[in-house]
Amino acid sequence: MFSMNIDEGTSDNNKKILTVLVSYYSPSLNKVVINHFVSLSLIVVKLSLIDSLLQRHNIPWTNVISILMDSCNVMRVSKSGLETRIRTKHAPYHIDIDGDVCIHNACKRFSKAFEQHLEELFTSIYNDFKWSTDLHQYLERLCNILGVKFTVPERYVPTRWLSVYDVVVDTLRLLDVYTIFCFPFLSLPDRQHFFHLCKGIYLSKEIGDKAVRAIKVIQDRLREKKMTEEGKQQKERITQKLFVNHSYTRLLLYFHASALALLKKFVLVFQKNETQIHKLYDEVVGLSKSFFSCFVKPEVLLQCKVTDVGVAAETSMLALVDIFIEPEATAILHKEKKIEVKKAFLSRARSASKCLQEKLPLKNRLLIHLSAIDPLVTGHTHQSEFPTNQYE
């Protein structure tokens, strides 16, 4: 009996390579071992390819107890994906539990509650730098002056929504540089109004007059740059979020960095060498409690199950001054003078929490029942309640 890990990649000479790893329990070593089974050059990943591979080695499909793949369409799409066809034709007993799909969908619903404010910013910044080498050079010079590590703006992948987390972390690191970079694209009245943001960056970075003059030279050159109508609209979208909605954008960046880190931590549970399936439900419950505890009153969390917590109800929420999101985000929220901005953010945060509660597998009966095989439950009444005939 063994598990397969199948992945498709591209070699140095641009050929598609399908690699198969196998993991199985070794009685002699008394542990699960992972070995390379085969790597094949191919054009399209087909079920017949995997089928013939097993036949060639006289391995029956019944020996394959699970298959691990990534979440791309070729592998995981619901109707024509390789995993779906394997489960339909050869291995109907395979359990469809996937951390990537589960968490990416949850992340997408979570972000939707904030009207994809950050995702639109990330897309605009990525497209702005995509083909322009001179903008790359100007951005790199500003990074060197401000003492920030330079990296090319990344793109989040819509089919793998948790990639937003990686872009959030990079954007936070480069946020001051983006602010200085986009400042010259503002109108003259707006430059006068928002100059305090640049001045605050100069003070926080402790740069001298010589560095400020070097930045001014770069900004003057950027201001003279000719742009298409589409480029102007793109710059306007970026400056709107970096300057007009400066506090709100920073608040969301820090909030997402904190919340999405919890989701990423859950995905890593599936990527361990020896994933312990009986602990998955405990992990998802722990993840939910960690997130909800930032907003919800402790007595509410203690009095009911995590699936029944009214995360969208104001009566369940902590007072505004007691809410903890993330140190920087909390500081921004407390400094914000407009109460309507605070209420709007908290309303969206509650909505995002509700989406997360609905999308995470907190009511997944299979995960709940599998938790009964935990050695800690041996001899407990909960173990006897496991309906063994339900999944035969």
Closest CA to 136 of 156, 123, 152: 152
> What is the pLDDT at residue 377?
62
Give residue 392's pLDDT.
33
Decide: 357 and 316 in contact? Cβ < 8 Å. Answer: no
Q: How far is Cα 85 from Cα 89, in angstroms, rounded to an integer?
A: 6
How high is the pLDDT of residue 100? 58
pLDDT, residue 96, reads 59
Element (H, E) at 290: helix 280-292
Distance of CA 331 to the CA centre of its chain: 24
Q: By C-alpha distance, which of 157, 132, 120 is closest to 252?
A: 120
- Position 213 scores a pLDDT of 94
Q: Averaged in consecutive runs of 10 residues, what is the pLDDT profile of the chain (392 residues)?
A: 83 80 90 89 73 88 81 53 73 64 76 88 91 88 94 82 87 95 94 93 92 94 88 91 92 88 76 70 83 81 80 73 73 77 80 82 81 68 51 35
DSSP codes of every residue in 285-327: HHHHHHHHTTTB-HHHHHHS-TTT--TT-GGGBPPGGG--S-H
What is the pLDDT at residue 388? Answer: 46
Give the per-residue pLDDT at 137. Answer: 92
Per the CB < 8 A criterion, the answer to whether 74 and 8 are in contact is: yes
Q: How many CB atoms lie within 10 A of CB 46?
A: 14
pTM: 0.74
Note the Cα 87 to chain centre separation in Å: 27
Within a 10 A sphere around the Cβ of 17, how many other Cβ atoms?
14
CA 59: distance to chain centroid? Answer: 37
Q: Kindly give the pairing relationship between strand 16-26 and strand 2-10.
A: antiparallel
